[in-house]
């Protein structure tokens, strides 16, 4: 079986950066599953679909064309959407879009297909519990809300996304709640995940900790 490193955690817990670094160290395909839900959300906005029209959103998610390239770029219908999917508009609706069960089914299928025949590091909210329950390694990364807000603001600056502390704080708080209370695919902690609180850790220390665990097992 191919090797699967599964990482779950709330936004700003460091899982995206950690996954990128692990992919380089262990030569893995990096699959950012949040990007797949963000592409659905962007498509909803582009097609002016009201958020309560679940049928249309499900239909759209069934036929969506998403590609994640090895250099970290995200393509929706062959258009580079890497930056726009991180913007305010998409961030504000993505959690709600990702709560639709049939949308999740479609995205989980796409994510499993992306991992076929590859050794992968896959990060998201339900990788250790739904997408790859039998992953080779399962991690849950966490950090305090304040620290996660600060990290997201720093990332936003690098991507020229202009959001205030309050805006990011409210957005993350709301998303945490939604992500942890979904009927299907909720972000939860389980006994078989390795839990790492990254609040006071440098990102390289998190990567080294995971690297040590992988190399020891």
Question: 160 or 217: whose CB is closer to ligand DC?
Answer: 160
The distance of closest approach from Cβ of residue 112 to ligand DC in the complex, given in angstroms and rounded to an integer, is 12
Q: Is 61 in the site for ligand DC (CB under 6 A)?
A: no
- The single residue among 175, 193, 198, 207 that binds ligand DC, judged by CB under 6 A, is 175
The distance of closest approach from Cβ of residue 215 to ligand DC in the complex, given in angstroms and rounded to an integer, is 26
CA 96 to chain centre: 14
To 10 degrees, what angle do helices 88-97 and 33-46 make? 110
Q: Is 98 in the site for ligand DC (CB under 6 A)?
A: yes
DSSP string, 35-94: HHHHHHHHHHHHTT--TT-HHHHHHHHHS--EEE-TTS-EEETTEE-TTGGGSHHHHHHH
- The single residue among 30, 37, 140, 149 that binds ligand DC, judged by CB under 6 A, is 37
Torsional class of 91: left (φ above 0), alpha (ψ -120 to 50), beta (otherwise): alpha
Q: Is 125 in the site for ligand DC (CB under 6 A)?
A: yes
Q: Is 39 in the site for ligand DC (CB under 6 A)?
A: no
Residues of this chain that bind ligand DC (CB under 6 A): 11, 33-34, 37-38, 94-95, 98, 124-127, 175, 179, 185
């Amino acid at each position: 079986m191919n090797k699967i490193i599964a990482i779950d955690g709330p936004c700003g817990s460091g899982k995206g950066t950690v996954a990128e670094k692990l992919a380089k160290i262990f030569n893995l395909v990096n699959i950012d599953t949040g990007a797949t839900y963000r592409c659905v959300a962007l498509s909803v906005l582009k097609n002016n679909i009201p958020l309560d029209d679940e049928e249309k959103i499900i239909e759209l998610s069934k036929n969506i064309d998403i590609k994640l390239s090895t250099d970290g770029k995200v393509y929706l219908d062959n258009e580079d959407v890497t930056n726009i999917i991180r913007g305010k508009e998409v961030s504000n609706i993505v959690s709600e879009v990702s709560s639709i069960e049939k949308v999740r089914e479609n995205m989980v299928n796409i994510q499993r297909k992306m991992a076929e025949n590859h050794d992968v590091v896959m990060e998201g909210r339900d990788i250790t519990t739904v997408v790859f329950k039998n992953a080779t390694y399962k991690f849950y990364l966490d950090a305090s809300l304040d620290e996660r807000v600060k990290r997201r603001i720093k990332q936003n600056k690098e991507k020229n996304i202009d959001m205030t502390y309050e805006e990011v704080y409210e957005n993350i708080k709301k998303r945490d709640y939604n992500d942890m209370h979904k009927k299907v695919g909720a972000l939860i902690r389980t006994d078989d995940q390795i839990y790492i609180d990254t609040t006071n850790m440098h990102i390289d220390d998190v990567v080294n900790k995971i690297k040590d665990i992988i190399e020891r097992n």
